Amino acid sequence: MKLPILIHPDPRLKKMCAPVDDLSDELRTLAGDMLETMYDAPGIGLAAPQVGVLSRLIVLDCIKEEDETPRPMVMFNPEIVAASDEKNVYEEGCLSIPDQFAEIKRPKVVDVRWIGMDGNEHSETFDGLWATCVQHEIDHLNGKLFIDYLGAMKRQLITRKMQKLKREKARA
């Protein structure tokens, strides 16, 4: 089931999310719904707070080519356990901040540990776009948006655009 995506500014997007203690059927269903919502948007990542759930859950799939097999990933309680000194710059966007993009510098390679849908601990090293995406989504779990990396002027400009967009949607 597709879920509504919160648009910035929304106080839920700035909250620290609670760890997932138990993988309930509801959380597994939520993860599936989040993947469906992400693909439909279309996006390459989505965090639970973006759909109004303040739990440490993210989904991602950075396979963009039509001829490549999708690689949907579901991560409960993801954490970065190591990050490279080498940085990468990607133009980032966010489903909660539609049509706004900015170049953000982040570690090029990160090691991430999480609990999978199977209830087991997993870990993987991510590079390039995957590394950027997983860091962006984990930031959401800590109440941080990609625009928080920008200067105050640019961040305020984007926030005003989002407030205007929300007003227009409310009228429609």
Question: Residue 12 has what pLDDT?
Answer: 97
Q: Other C-beta atoms within 10 Å of 73: how many?
A: 24
User: pLDDT, tens digit, for every residue of 77-87?
Assistant: 999 999 999 99
Strand (E) or helix (H) holding 134: helix 128-141
The residues annotated with a catalytic role in the active site are 137
What DSSP designation does 127 have?
A: E
Concatenate the DSSP letters of all residues of 61-75 into one string.
Answer: -----TTSPP--EEE
Return the pLDDT at 172: 84
The yes-or-no verdict on residue 69 having pLDDT over 90 is yes
Residue 36 is encoded by which pair of tokens?
A: 């469906």
Mean pLDDT, residues 153-167 taken together: 95
Backbone angles phi, psi at 19, to 5 degrees: -60, 150
Check: CB of residue 56 under 8 Å from CB of residue 48: yes
Per-residue pLDDT of 7-63, as tens digits, reads 999 999 999 999 999 899 999 999 999 999 999 999 999 999 999 999 999 999 999
SS3 (DSSP) at 148: helix
Amino acid occupying residue 107? P
